[in-house]
Amino acid sequence: MKARIGWFLAVGCAAAAVHFAIVVRLVTATALAPLAANVAGWLVALLVSFTGHWRLTFRHERAPWRQAAPRFFAISLAGFAVNEAAYAVLLHLSGWRYDVLLAIVLVGMAVLTYLLSSRWAFLGTARP
């Protein structure tokens, strides 16, 4: 259990860092709106996250990738909808910088992603 949480944190931090870096880069280099850049960041981070969780975090669950991928995508898409809505509200209502707000939203989604991933997306047949 400790190892799984460790891997979840490592993979999640890597995916969040990729997401964050892409958003900041797109906003600063192309003047893309933060909410639009957030979509691009999520799409790339989705690949990092799924690959890392399937190969490392939940490898002992032995869920076939064809089963796990659509489930993880559903969880990630739902999480992203919450992420984007919360981000939009925070951008509109607060005077904080977009990158600080993005960091807050990304951290907030991590626990929900872990719970849903461990209890549904990667649930398979554990090794004896």
- pLDDT tens per residue, range 73-95: 998 898 899 889 999 999 999 99
The angle, 0 to 180 degrees and rounded to 10, between the axes of the packed helices 65-93 and 98-116 is: 150
Of 6-10, 107-111, 121-125, which range is least confident?
121-125
Whole-prediction pTM: 0.81
pLDDT band of 127, cuts 50, 70, 90 = very low
pLDDT band of 19, cuts 50, 70, 90 = very high
Percent of the chain surpassing pLDDT 70: 95
Q: Which domain holds residue 78?
A: 2-121
Domains held by the chain: number: 1
Say which residue the tokens 């984007």 belong to: 84
CA 117-121-125 angle, to 5 degrees, is 110
Q: How far apart are CA 103 and CA 109, in angstroms?
A: 10
Residue 119 DSSP symbol:
I
pLDDT band of 128, cuts 50, 70, 90 = very low
Q: How far apart are CA 45 and CA 17, in angstroms?
A: 8
Which ranges of 31-125 would DSSP assign to H, the alpha helix? 34-52, 65-93, 98-116
pLDDT band of 3, cuts 50, 70, 90 = confident
Whether 128 maps to a domain, the answer reads no
Whether 126 maps to a domain, the answer reads no
pLDDT band of 125, cuts 50, 70, 90 = low
